[in-house]
Amino acid sequence: MGGPPPGRLAAGAATVRVAMAPPGPIRRLRLSDLPGGEAELFALEVGVPHAIEVVRDVSLVDVDRRGSAIRRHPAFPAGANANFIALDERAGEIQLRTFERGVEAECLSCGTGATAAVTVAHRFFDWPPAVAVRVASGDRIHIDCTGDAPLMEGPVTRVFEGVFAAPPGPADPPAEQT
């Protein structure tokens, strides 16, 4: 039985631990045509494409404006999640804000972005391979990249519940007409 361990979530659990996609190769890019000025980015895939920019203070980044420009930049033909990270040595954590493709706005948390952030911090800035990431919601996600597949552990919160009916598909019989 190979592969990463499955995610585990017990009924009523406050945290979940899941195996993430292994990060792909990292490219370093310098983009000069972004709102707010030039940026050095680290581009990698962790299930989906990510662009990481290391900044001094994530609270000062205009995530919607700069993130949207990075997400749609020609350097990323399929688009990319734009992640802004600050390496907070005093707190021993990485701070992360993400502009997520598909959402087309800043999101409160991004597990693949957190995994990409830890991967870049470890490989390029001598950070440990297992570290906490503080996301925009204020939650801490723990990423452990010491094994074959990174592990993510963090809090879970129900934010929505709903029911929807799927539209009829080709296998569904046509509705009777009267």
147 is a domain residue? yes
For range 44-70, the mean pLDDT: 96
What mean pLDDT comes out for the span 74-103? 96
d(CA 92, CA 142): 12
Question: Which domain covers residue 76, as residue numbers?
Answer: 15-155
On the question of pLDDT at 9 being above 60, the answer is no
Residue 108 covered by a domain: yes
The first and second tokens of residue 139, run together, are 């939650």
Q: Which residue has the higher pLDDT, 76 or 177?
A: 76
In a domain, 67, yes or no: yes
In the chain, how many domains are there? 1
Structure-token match 């911090």, residue found: 121
Q: How confident is the model at residue 170 (pLDDT cuts 50, 70, 90)?
A: confident
User: Does residue 7 fall inside a structural domain?
Assistant: no
Question: What residues form DSSP beta bridges with 44?
Answer: 50
Has residue 37 been placed in a domain? yes
Chain mean pLDDT for the chain: 89
How many CB atoms within 10 Å of residue 174? 6
Summarised one tens digit per residue, pLDDT across range 99-135 is: 999 999 999 999 999 999 999 999 999 999 999 999 9
CB 148 within 8 A of CB 5: no
**3-class SS at 109?**
coil
pLDDT band for 173, please (50, 70, 90 cuts). Answer: low
Residue 54 pLDDT greater than 90, yes or no: yes
pTM: 0.83
Residue that is written with structure tokens 């991004």 in the block: 110
The torsion region of residue 102 among left (phi > 0), alpha (psi -120 to 50) and beta comes to: left
Between CA 107 and CA 91 the distance in angstroms is 23
Q: Which amino acid is present at 101?
A: R
Cα–Cα distance between 115 and 107 in angstroms, integer?
15
Rounded to 10 degrees, what is the CA torsion of 140, 146, 149, 155? -20
Q: Terminal CA-to-CA distance of the chain, rounded, Å?
A: 55
Residue 78 lies in a domain: yes
Q: Is residue 163 part of a domain?
A: no
Q: Is residue 2 part of a domain?
A: no
- Nearest-Å Rg of the Cα atoms of the chain is 19
- CB burial string 86-96: b at 16+ within 10 A, e below: bbeeeeebbbb
- Distance, in Å, from the CA atom of 174 to the CA atom of 164, rounded to the nearest integer, reads 20
- pLDDT computed for residue 157 by the predictor: 77
pLDDT for the residue numbered 95 = 98
pLDDT tops 90 at residue 28:
yes
CATH of the domain at 147: 3.10.310.10
